[in-house]
Amino acid sequence: MLFKFKSYLNFLWKSTNQHGVHSPFVYNLVTKCFYDRKERASYNSIKNFHKNNTLDISLKNAKLLNRLIPYLDYKKILILSDSSDFITQILSVNNQISISDSLEVKHPFDFIYMDIAPCENNPELLETIFSLVHNDSLLLFNEIHKSQSNQFIWEQLQNNSKTKVTIDTYDLGFVFFRREQEKEHFIIRV
């Protein structure tokens, strides 16, 4: 518990909002998606899913996940999570997408949602995941600051030569592979 408290204080100290972002791509993502407060038709269903499930994702983050799909115009989704049924429900509400939960599918995915813990001491898993992305893909990790090991894996992902843009929102870690962009890490309050 002490680790999470210290980790959160450190996050607050280092984090910024859209005014500290100089990348046009990240600025637009933050202002038009992360900070979008318009009520959506999908939110009632998401609230019901959230109320009836005990999961490690907040309602605020569930709504953000649902907004990401249309904002980034993603269609092919891979979910590798203990809570894959719930994440599938969240992402599917009012979004036309194709969802898989298997690494056996060998085509590139637009969006991969996964728990970070299985990546510990498993570089082969990350290499497999990296082989399933394209330039505009998003790899999204849950609970990046839940433990020291999760936070260590997150730091390794930031330093990986294949990742270009990483965004830390404390609960979620966003990894983009945009080759046209300089390598940058952002810590954003949502």
Cα–Cα separations (whole angstroms), residue 88 to 49, 71, 96, 135, 143: 11, 17, 12, 23, 17
Q: Are 26 and 165 in contact (CB under 8 A)?
A: yes
Q: pLDDT band at 176, cuts 50/70/90?
A: very high
Asked if residue 57 has pLDDT above 90, the reply is no
pLDDT at 182: 92
d(Cα 56, Cα 82) in Å, to the nearest integer? Answer: 10
Tell me the pLDDT of the chain averaged across its residues.
90
Beta bridge partners of 179: none
Above 70 in pLDDT, residue 21?
Answer: yes
Is-above-0.85 flag for pTM?
yes
121: region left, alpha or beta (phi > 0 left; psi from -120 to 50 alpha): left
Q: Which domain holds residue 174?
A: 2-187
Report residue 123 as tokens: 């570089």
The rounded distance, in Å, linking the Cα atoms of 90 and 85 is: 9
Average pLDDT over residues 121-147: 93
d(CA 81, CA 47): 20
Residue 172 pLDDT exceeds 90:
yes
Tell me if 4 sits within 8 A of 145, measured CB to CB.
yes
Decide: 94 and 41 in contact? Cβ < 8 Å. Answer: yes
Q: What is the CATH number of the domain that holds 151?
A: 3.40.50.150
The whole-number pLDDT of residue 171 equals 92
Residues 138, 110 contacting (CB under 8 angstroms): yes
Number of independent structural domains in the chain: 1
